[in-house]
Amino acid sequence: MTSCVCRTIGTPEELAEVEALQRIVWPGDDLEIVPAHVLLTAAHNGGLVAGAWEGARLAGFVFGFLGFHESETARRLKHCSHMLGVHPDFRSAGVGYALKTYQREHVLRQGLELITWTYDPLLARNAQLNIAKLGAVCNTYLANLYGEMRDDLNAGLPSDRFQVDWWIASQRVADRLGGAPGDRPRLADLSATGAVWLNPPGPDGTPQPPDSSSPVVEASTTVLIEIPKDCLALKAADPVLALRWRLSTRAAFQRLFRQGYGVTDFVHAPDRGTYVLSHESQARAFGLEAMVRRTFSPDWRPLMGATDAKRRIQAGSLSETRFDEKLKTLVSDQQVLAVNQLPQPVRQYWPDAVTAKVILTGERRAHYLTDHADIAPYEDRLRDVIANPDEIHRNKRDAQIAILYQRLDEDHWLRATLWISDKHGLQNSIHSYRLAGVEEVRKGRRSGRLLWQK
């Protein structure tokens, strides 16, 4: 293990060393280098540039800046950790771990509790540090996040990334950093207790990419997904197989994350690396009590009976009679999409609209994910579409259905529709969520259905 000393970097000379180290860690394209003046500006405005020094040598660096995350009630500040680089001479010596713990202490002093960053989910070395050692968790998969990358490390595969959540003030993280054995799993124990291998090894014991015949799992089941022990070597030796790994694991993780699973651990062995995924309903067993609401499916909250429902639906959002009637209809596949307040135009044109919560049933969610599969990458934006639409239209056949549009790009809009009336006993419930073309929005305007636009 290294005896490096970590400290904040702030001088132009030291930042020039960080530029030089970036070229060593990510060789091949200077366009990927974050220049010293950007690093300096971020560091002077709430961000952090820190280095790990072995004597006079810069062994590694970490760079991050302030960002926002959505809590249950408001937007809150977080630290977005953008880059972590370690000189090849010091890899596997604990430099990355030392830099992350230094970063944690700095961010805690700022009064923040969350650090997020991205990494390639097929890199076992990174998974071992981020998930196993640091105690980060993940339920966000970003497909081809950066587009085509040209540096030698990333070229050749789509730039898929995990976005991990590191709840730095949690007991889980404190236990991991303190070396407490706690809930660290062993593959043999997991298999013995019924964990499901999504991609069991082949007859010769080599890892196999998941395929479309992977088993369907129940919410109470722990899921295991193995990845190559050295994806970079695999990419160099067999690019076609490496691409198959990328696309098959992308499909598997996206499906499980939509089902409420999250990555809670990583088991690293000399010849294999395996992700451990747990369902949000089991998260408390993994020391995630403080994060279960925010890290696992932060927008979707299952209603677990009357007591839990009363705690989650704000008092006064329904009359007592209506509230009790609604509780009788709640079943396990109904969920609440938390919206602090519906947009003013919705409440202006539909005065009966409830202003605290919007209900989404499992049936409707399954409908839009099945019939409109192209909406899946934008599922986590549904709450924002409802709370911050760019346009609101009235449905041409049912005046009690509100259509909310949010522009996605020049040719596409995100469309969410709400039952405003008590239709089907579900006032303020999601009717559908899908992509819409620009011509659909224009047609709604021409036909007089436009009620409001930003």
User: What pTM does this model have?
Assistant: 0.63
Q: Is it the case that residue 53 has pLDDT exceeding 90? A: yes
The average pLDDT across 99-107 equals: 95
Cα–Cα dist 167/175, whole Å: 12
Give residue 270's pLDDT: 76
Please indicate whether residue 136 or residue 75 has the higher confidence score (pLDDT): 136
Weakest mean pLDDT among 43-57, 67-81, 84-98, 426-440: 67-81
More confidently predicted of 440 and 361: 440
Given this model, what pLDDT does residue 206 score? 85
Q: What is the pLDDT of residue 183?
A: 55
pLDDT value at position 201? Answer: 85
- Cα–Cα distance, 322 to 341 (Å, whole number): 19
Q: Which residues of 108-133 are buried (b: 16+ CB within 10 A; e: fewer)?
A: eeeebbbbbbbbbbbbbbbbbbbbbb
Q: What is the per-residue pLDDT for 148?
A: 79
Model pLDDT, residue 323 = 41
Tell me the average pLDDT across 122-141: 93
Between 156 and 403, the higher pLDDT residue: 403
Instruction: Write the DSSP string, 323-359.
Output: HHHHHHH--TTEEEEE-SS--HHHHHH-TT--SSEEE
Q: What is the pLDDT of residue 122?
A: 95
pLDDT higher than threshold 60 for residue 104: yes
- Low-confidence winner among 65-79, 289-303, 350-364 (lowest mean pLDDT): 289-303
286 has a pLDDT exceeding 80: no
Instruction: Return the axis-axis angle of helices 305-312 and 320-329, rounded to nearest 10°.
Output: 130
Res. 5: pLDDT tops 90? yes
Whether the predicted pLDDT of 92 surpasses 60: yes
How far is C-alpha 378 from the chain's CA centre? 12
Q: 319: pLDDT confidence band, cut at 50, 70 and 90?
A: very low
Where is average pLDDT lowest: 68-82, 88-102, 180-194? 180-194
Residue that wins the pLDDT comparison between 183 and 454 = 454
Q: How confident is the model at residue 378 (pLDDT cuts 50, 70, 90)?
A: confident
pLDDT given for residue 221 in this prediction? 81
Q: What does the DSSP assignment read for 134-162?
A: T--EEEEEETTTT-S--STTTTTS---EE
Digit-coded pLDDT (tens) for 426-436: 677 888 899 99
Residue percentage of the chain with pLDDT more than 90: 39
Distance in angstroms (rounded) separating the CA atoms of residues 47 and 64: 6
Residue 153, pLDDT > 90, answer: no
CA 195 – CA 277 distance, rounded (Å) = 10
> What percentage of the chain reaches a pLDDT higher than 70?
79
Q: What is the mean pLDDT of residues 65-77?
A: 76
Residue 297 scores a pLDDT above 70? no
Q: Which of 380, 350, 354, 355 is nearest to 365 (CA)?
A: 380
The predicted pLDDT at position 424 comes to: 57
pLDDT at 14: 93
What confidence score (pLDDT) does residue 95 get? 95
For 29-34, what is the mean pLDDT? 80
212-238 average pLDDT score: 82
- What SS3 state is found at 26? coil
Residue type, 131: I
Residue with tokens 């192209």: 374
Average pLDDT, rounded, for the chain = 81
In this structure, how many other beta carbons lie within 10 angstroms of the beta carbon of residue 228? 21
Report residue 404's pLDDT band, with 50, 70 and 90 as the boundaries.
Answer: very high
Distance CA 83, CA 92 (A): 17
CA 7 to chain centre: 29
CA-based radius of gyration for the chain: 24
pLDDT at 302: 30
Question: What pLDDT was estimated at residue 312?
Answer: 36
Domain boundaries, the chain: 300-453
| Residue that wins the pLDDT comparison between 150 and 105 | 105
Q: Of 162, 166, 187, 190, which Cα lies nearest the Cα of 177?
A: 166
Please, are residues 165 and 135 in contact by the beta-carbon 8 Å criterion?
Answer: no
Amino acid 9: pLDDT: 93
Q: Which helix (H) or strand (E) holds 265?
A: strand 261-269
Mean per-residue pLDDT for 46-59?
A: 94
Which of 51-55, 118-122, 235-239 has the least mean pLDDT? 235-239
Query: What is the structure's pLDDT at 308?
Result: 36
